[in-house]
Structure 1
Amino acid sequence: MKTHVKALVVGGGAVGTSIAYHLQKAGWETMLVERDELTSGSTWHAAGLLPLFNMSYATTHIHKYSVDFYKTLEAETGLNAGFSICGNLRMAQTQDRMDEYMLYSSVAETAGVYHEFLTPAQIAERWPLVRTDDLKGALFHPQDGYINPADVTQAMAKGARQLGVVIERKIQVDGYRWTGSEWIVSVTRMVEQGGNLVPSEEKYEIHAEHVVTATGNHAQRTAKLLGIKIPAIPVEHQYIVTEPDPALVAYRKAGHAEHPVLRDADAKWYAREERGGWILGPYELNAPARFQYGVPDSFRADLFPLDLERIEAEYMSMIHRIPSSEVAGLKDDFNGPICYTPDGNPLVGPAPGLRNMWLAEGFSFGITAAGGTGYYLAQMMVAGEAEIDMASLDPKRYGGWMTTEYAVKKNEECYEHVFILHHPDEEREAARPLRTAPAYDRQIALGAQMGQVNGWERPNYYGEVGAPADFDHNSRSFRRGAWWQYAEAEAKAVRETCGIIDASAFTKHLVRGPGATAFLDHFTCNKLPKTGRINLTYALTEAGTTRTEYTIVRLSEDEYYLISAGAWTAYDYDFLKKASEDFIAAGGGTIEIHDVTTQWGVYALAGPAARAILAGLIRDAEPESALSNKRFPWLSCREIELGMCPVRAIRVAYTGELGWELHYPIEFGRYLWDLLLKEGAKHGLKPVGARAQNWLRQEKSYRAFGTELGRDATPLEAGLDRFVDLEKDFRGKAKMLETGIRSKCVTLLIDGPSDTDPWGKEALLLNGEKVGRLTSGGWSVVFGKQIGMGYVRPDLAEVGTRLKVKMLLQEWDAVVVEDSPHDPENARIRING
């Protein structure tokens, strides 16, 4: 057995073989080990569907690459992967479902995925076996279909071998040890014994610079071996195969083409032809999670007993949609484990806390994603970054607070939500509330309608207390939801009086020590602030793109308080920790990195009355001047006292109004909330949620990480030149300058439909040609029209450029406006008092 390689891939399913293929093709000597046979995990019982449909920009690219790649395998390897390009028909029973498809249409257009819309009459004409009288229409992808999972895996494996990959079967990984420069992976040869796989006496050590785990249902075992958490836990998925349907057999004998994969999303199932009959795959309620703590040694290519009662409603719905299927008896059934994650996206990228260890786990649509995952993960590993932003799939989007029970509940919920409408404003309820800020109960009493970020409950908006009984705060829409009127009122309050926002979910790190200043100066691209001041800055990837946005508060000469996005706490900590270790190893001074997120709560106070509210509470020898520009200027930090609460007050506001972020010791949260609301009542203070804040920050062109800011654009492309100090050396600087300006971030005002705002997924067009895409969208209370931010070709970034935004399948006028269209001089932020 080979014992020294550049990269070792653990797991021989579709995902693992694709990764091995693409790593070797990228020039890395690669080896793959599989504890059983190739395809013996979920791959063997997968239905092999290849749906291009996905609301995620990154995942859409991954799926598209897979579909295109699989079509090339036979020419390269001589193996037919069984790709049936029959198309994929997503039917809609409701207008809301059609609205979902129209929003998806823009995502698909930005990624270059071809699709069509069909009317019920067109569906009936093409496929008369399908009942259409209760349909609104359908979305059709003519270029995808389904593939044989085992065949495509074997084709990728053969392609990998042809490139030089060594593939070893019946090899179980028993341990991982990092030496500081390589991984030593302990493995055992497995042998057959009475139908089971058991360890033999043959043991080896494999030395690898990099390791990728693609262990599927065995992710919990992998997590234990690595000493980390991986929220990838299987859920039962069953599908049935019918006997031949005489009407279908006659239809095909008449010379008609194969039906597309049929998806009745509102009925929660897919179906496709199978040897004259049908395969039905439901996504029903109450499918249980399995193997929460690991797969039993006795479980190989096995299945669970079928639970027909659980899928009875979906089966009857298929008969309703394909009436001829009623006479076809059941021929076969499958009920096997398929891995899920709490949000349904796989975990792809560097493992938390570990060097050169990469995860590719939690694939609920593994066949569809396998090809693209191998391609883009190989880019990340070999080139340092992928050409698309892969942050939404990063394994570190879940922190150490996550437990097995949480993952089980969310994964089961995710399974049953596969075909439930994915509204952009959806908030799923499982495992909630979990992480709550101190004033949570106070906010609920005021009508707060909560969302969650990184497990934290935070107000999305405050609904009317005592609203009419028939008013549904949980109603969702692809247009303006029930919450819209409340968010508009909150946004107006910030612009006209004052709003208070609970921002306790913000990520907060303390960086200190003799090496802290030198480290942060190289780690970030802006000048470091002076003591008592703050600065907005960015940490870059090795590719020169934006890795993280930080607000840095300098507490003393070598002590800094870093604030970043609440969704990315573990992601940011891992990056800071590893970068500081590299700095120390290179001869830098000692540095301490502390995650203090849960030690500090945050209330953001913003609006013209913010100073007056704080003036009534501050304990200071000269309270009348304590908050003036002279004593407390914009972009500065002071330790103050509000009543009996010590506060680290930062004069900054993400809404673009006069304001302060009030960082307080977490145990003072309820006291400070009550104090602020009581004093604020004299000045029109209004509690404000995240949705209004999102609109307000767009009026100031404030970029947000995960939307405008990401690993596929540099700070210069994001239009953040004023926060980049080109006079100093910093991480990623050379690559950033080498990249140049491929596209440019702009703000647009939009004359859109009367009942719909952009969500940040829409295509930007010029003369019918795609020239960019929105990354954020919403409503501007200042301008009384829709607003959005996004990226366009550099030549179209000039103020006054007129474009079109694709919404509801129509093109709407949009114009590029100056950065910070509201108060471009920042006069309101700096106003004295």
Structure 2
Amino acid sequence: MKTHVKALVVGGGAVGTSIAYHLAKRGWDTMLLERDELTSGSTWHAAGLLPYFNMSYATTHIHDYSIRFYKGLEAETGLNPGFFVVGNLRMAQTDARMDEYRLYATTAETCGVPYEWLTPDEIKARWPLVRTDDLKGALFHPTDGYINPADVTQAMAKGARQFGATIERKWQVDGYEWTGSEWRVTVTKMAEKGGNLVATDEQAVITAEHVVTATGNHAQRTARLLGIKIPAIPVEHQFIVTEPDPALVAWRDAGNPQHPVLRDADAKWYVREERGGWILGPYERGAPARFEYGCPDSFRADLFPLDLERIEEEYMSMIHRIPSSEQVGLKDDFNGPICYTPDGNPLLGPAPGLRNMWLAEGFSFGITAAGGTGHYLAQLMVDGEAEIDMGSLDPRRYGDWMTTEYAARKNEEAYEHVYILHHPDEERPACRPLRTSPAYDRQRRLGAQFGQVNGWERPNYYGPEDAPDSFDHDARSFRRGGWWPHAEYEARAIRERAGLIDATAFTKHLVRGPGATAFLDWFTCNALPKVGRVNLTYALSSAGTVRTEYTIVRLAEHEYYLVSAGAWAAYDHDFLVKAAEDKREEFGWIDIHDVSTQWGVFALAGPNARAILNDVVKDADPATVLSNKRFPWLSARDIELGMCPVRALRVAYTGELGWELHHPIEMQTYLWDLLMGAGERHGMALVGARAQNWLRQEKSYRAFGTELGRDATPLEAGLDRFVDLSKDFHGKAAMEQTGIRSKCVTLLIDGPEDADPWGREALYDGETRVGRLTSGGYSVVFGRSIGMGYVRPELAVPGTKLQVKMLDRRWPAEIVEESPHDPTNARIRADG
């Protein structure tokens, strides 16, 4: 066995073998270790389905790559991966489900994924065994189907060997040690004994520059060995195999093709053919998480007892949908562990706090994702970035606040929600509320309907004060939900009077020390602000794309307060700390603290914002303390509001006169009551995140995670004014070399009367797809739908007429000038 490699992959399921294949193909000396046999984890009992359907842009690309990749494996390796391209029929019983498919379909178009629409009559004509009288229609993917998990894994393993990778079985990792330049991995030889897998006395140490963990059900053991948290915990998944169905056998004997994979999402199951019978896989309520604290060493290719009572409803609905299956007996059953994460997306990318350690864990659709995972992770590792933005899958999207209990309960919820309607505005209720700001109870009593960001409860909008609970599911829709009129009122209030927004979830870092100035000047692309001033800036990836967005406040010569997106706290912290460590020898000592939980934030904005603060500010000359002369736009000052000390920043994400009021978290309820009293006299409304999202689009303000990400440079994002090309900064050369592949624009849209874009829609110029939306909503200023997105550079000109694909129709859209509302920023700079 080799004792030194460039990359060590731990885990021999479909995901691990794909990663080994793609790293070896890129020329890296790669070894894969498996503690048992290849496919002996969840891979062996997977149903092998390859569903395209996913609302995530990144995951759709991953699935698309997998499906195309698998089709070429036999020609490359000589091994048939057992790919049956029968298509995938996703049926809908309700109009809401059809709306979900229409939203997904336009996302699929942005990735080039083919699909077809079928009516109930067309379904019946093609597959007469399927009952269709209660269906609204279906979405059909003709190019996917199902695959044999063991066969495709062995084909990828052979391909990996052909590219020079080594695969070693019956070796278990028992320890990881980072030496400062490489990993020392202690491994133990495993052996069969009485049907069990047991450790022997034989050990070895492998050194590797990079390690990838793809340990599946054993992720909690991996987490303990690495000293980190990995919220990948298995959930039971059952599927049953029936005896041959005479009607199906007769159908096939007559020369008819296989049925596509059938998915009745409203009934929460999939069905496919299996040797003349059917495989039923339900996603029922009540499926429990397993192995919360680690998979037993004795658990190999094992299963749990079947719980038929738990899936009785789904089983009966299969009989309803395929009536001929009623007389068919059960031949086999499976109830095995499938890993999940709290949001259902895998953990793919750098491990938090560790160097050259990569996670590929939590794959609930591992066979579908395996091929694309290997491809894009290899890009990330070899090239520094993938061609698509992998941020939504990054393991650092979860912070250390997460516990095992939280992960287990949220993973159960993610399993249950596989077929529950995925509204773009969905807010899942499990484990909530957990992280709350002090003003939470006051906000809830006033009708706040909360969303969750990084575990924090944040008002999405304010409904009626007698709202029954904080998770108003009935307000959701693929069109304008019940929340829409409340958000419209709140947006108008900020434009016309004033609004108060709770932004406590912001990520906040204190960066100081002798090396802080030189480091931040290199780390970010804009000029650093002067003491007492504020700048918007960006940290870039090694590929020159946007890695994160910061509002930087310069508190002193070498002391800075950095504010970034609340959803990306651990992600930002890990990147910031690692970058500072890399540059400490060059720039000097740098002290970095995450102070997010020490500071609450209220954003006060609108034409009456200054009048409200004037009523409560304490100063020797309160009439002038908030004037442009003493407190200009893009500056920061320490002020006193009543008895509360406040670090006030004159910025406003809504594009109106306003301030961010950063305050000691323990004084939040006092400050809330103070501002509520003053605001009442000036028509202030309480405003949630949804109205704020609309308002920032009227100002063409980009948002990290939508317009800004690791697949676009700041110049492509149209942020030239925030890039100081006179200085050197991280990613500059790569940014300039990339050029302009596409350009970010703002569009006003004449869409349907009852719907607005969500930011997932394809953009067309005639019959040609030319871009995609990244954000969407409604403009109270223009009385039309609004969106932001990326188009071909030659089209990024105000006045260009395009179309947006919404609800399976193309609607007129026009590219408008930057900041269509108040383009000169006169309202933001208003004096008083």
Q: Same fold (TM over 0.5)?
A: yes
Whether the aligned pair in 2 keeps the contact of 1:463 and 1:473 (CA below 8 Å) is: no
Distance 1:328 1:252 in 2: 17
2:61 equivalent in structure 1? 61
2:202 equivalent in structure 1? 202
What amino acid is aligned across from residue 490 of structure 2 in structure 1?
E
- 1:740 equivalenced with 2:761 (yes/no): no
Please, what TM-score do these two structures have when normalized by structure 1?
0.99
1:77-226 to structure 2, matched below 5 A, reads: 77-226=77-226
Instruction: Choose 187-196 or 232-241, whichever is displaced more.
Output: 187-196
1:114-513 to structure 2, matched below 5 A, reads: 114-466=114-466, 474-513=474-513
Whether the aligned pair in 1 keeps the contact of 2:13 and 2:43 (CA below 8 Å) is: yes
SS where residue 230 of structure 1 aligns? coil
- 1:704 equivalenced with 2:681 (yes/no): no
Distance 1:592 1:797 in 2: 42
Distance 2:411 2:176 in 1: 27
SS where residue 372 of structure 1 aligns? helix
CA-CA distance at 1:474 after TM superposition: 3.2
Distance 1:596 1:36 in 2: 44
Whether the aligned pair in 2 keeps the contact of 1:449 and 1:473 (CA below 8 Å) is: no
Whether the aligned pair in 1 keeps the contact of 2:449 and 2:472 (CA below 8 Å) is: no
Closer/same/farther in 2, CA of residues 355 and 472 from structure 1, 3 Å limit: closer
Q: Deviations 1:136-191 (Å, cap 9, x if unpaired)? A: 00000010000000000000000000110000000000000001110010001101
What amino acid is aligned across from residue 235 of structure 1 in structure 2?
V
Distance 1:258 1:464 in 2: 52
2:753 equivalent in structure 1? 754
Q: Deviations 1:752-799 (Å, cap 9, x if unpaired)? A: 000000000000001111100000000000000000000000000011
Report percent identity of matched pairs.
Answer: 79
CA-CA distance at 1:442 after TM superposition: 0.4
Whether the aligned pair in 2 keeps the contact of 1:473 and 1:482 (CA below 8 Å) is: no
Q: Deviations 1:89-142 (Å, cap 9, x if unpaired)? A: 000000000000000110000000000000000000000000000000000001
2:631 equivalent in structure 1? 632
CA-CA distance at 1:465 after TM superposition: 2.0
Distance 1:701 1:753 in 2: 22
1:831 equivalent in structure 2? 830
Distance 1:466 1:332 in 2: 51
SS where residue 828 of structure 2 aligns? helix
Distance 2:640 2:139 in 1: 59
What amino acid is aligned across from residue 177 of structure 1 in structure 2?
E
Whether the aligned pair in 2 keeps the contact of 1:757 and 1:777 (CA below 8 Å) is: yes
Distance 2:376 2:7 in 1: 16
Closer/same/farther in 2, CA of residues 468 and 160 from structure 1, 3 Å limit: closer
SS where residue 5 of structure 2 aligns? strand
Distance 2:541 2:475 in 1: 40
Whether the aligned pair in 1 keeps the contact of 2:454 and 2:567 (CA below 8 Å) is: yes
Whether the aligned pair in 2 keeps the contact of 1:116 and 1:140 (CA below 8 Å) is: yes
2:647 equivalent in structure 1? 648
CA-CA distance at 1:472 after TM superposition: 6.3
- The answer for unaligned runs of 5 or more in structure 2 is none
Distance 1:679 1:418 in 2: 46
Distance 1:544 1:823 in 2: 31
CA-CA distance at 1:473 after TM superposition: 5.8
CA-CA distance at 1:476 after TM superposition: 1.5
Q: Deviations 1:388-420 (Å, cap 9, x if unpaired)? A: 000000000000000000001100000000000
Distance 2:609 2:225 in 1: 52
CA-CA distance at 1:201 after TM superposition: 1.5
- 1:577 equivalenced with 2:577 (yes/no): yes
Q: Deviations 1:199-240 (Å, cap 9, x if unpaired)? A: 111110001000000000000000000000000000000000
What amino acid is aligned across from residue 670 of structure 2 in structure 1?
Y
What amino acid is aligned across from residue 695 of structure 1 in structure 2?
W
CA-CA distance at 1:467 after TM superposition: 6.5
Distance 2:384 2:215 in 1: 23
SS where residue 474 of structure 2 aligns? coil
Please, what TM-score do these two structures have when normalized by structure 2?
0.99
Distance 2:384 2:613 in 1: 47
What amino acid is aligned across from residue 333 of structure 1 in structure 2?
D
Whether the aligned pair in 1 keeps the contact of 2:610 and 2:658 (CA below 8 Å) is: yes
Distance 2:810 2:411 in 1: 38
SS where residue 830 of structure 1 aligns? coil
Whether the aligned pair in 2 keeps the contact of 1:500 and 1:688 (CA below 8 Å) is: yes
1:668 equivalent in structure 2? 667
Distance 2:121 2:738 in 1: 50
1:532 equivalent in structure 2? 532
Whether the aligned pair in 1 keeps the contact of 2:90 and 2:138 (CA below 8 Å) is: yes
SS where residue 749 of structure 1 aligns? strand
1:771 equivalent in structure 2? 770
Distance 2:622 2:116 in 1: 65
- The answer for unaligned runs of 5 or more in structure 1 is none
SS where residue 571 of structure 2 aligns? helix
What amino acid is aligned across from residue 666 of structure 2 in structure 1?
E
- 1:794 equivalenced with 2:793 (yes/no): yes
Distance 2:628 2:67 in 1: 59
SS where residue 828 of structure 1 aligns? coil
Whether the aligned pair in 2 keeps the contact of 1:548 and 1:705 (CA below 8 Å) is: yes
2:602 equivalent in structure 1? 603
Distance 1:71 1:186 in 2: 37
2:5 equivalent in structure 1? 5
What amino acid is aligned across from residue 760 of structure 1 in structure 2?
G
Q: Deviations 1:635-683 (Å, cap 9, x if unpaired)? A: 0000000000000000000000000000000000100000000011000
1:567 equivalent in structure 2? 567
Distance 2:233 2:764 in 1: 41
Whether the aligned pair in 2 keeps the contact of 1:500 and 1:606 (CA below 8 Å) is: yes
Q: Deviations 1:44-92 (Å, cap 9, x if unpaired)? A: 0000000011110000000000000000000011101110000000000
Distance 1:458 1:779 in 2: 21
Distance 1:780 1:770 in 2: 25
Q: Deviations 1:415-457 (Å, cap 9, x if unpaired)? A: 0000000000100000000000110000001100011100000
SS where residue 581 of structure 1 aligns? helix
What amino acid is aligned across from residue 765 of structure 1 in structure 2?
Y
Distance 1:162 1:811 in 2: 47
Query: Once superposed, which parts of structure 1, at least 4 consecutive aligned residues long, lie more than 6 Å away?
Result: none
Closer/same/farther in 2, CA of residues 362 and 472 from structure 1, 3 Å limit: closer
Distance 1:101 1:297 in 2: 42
What amino acid is aligned across from residue 523 of structure 2 in structure 1?
F
Distance 1:189 1:91 in 2: 49
What is the aligned-residue RMSD (CA, Å)?
0.9
Closer/same/farther in 2, CA of residues 439 and 472 from structure 1, 3 Å limit: closer
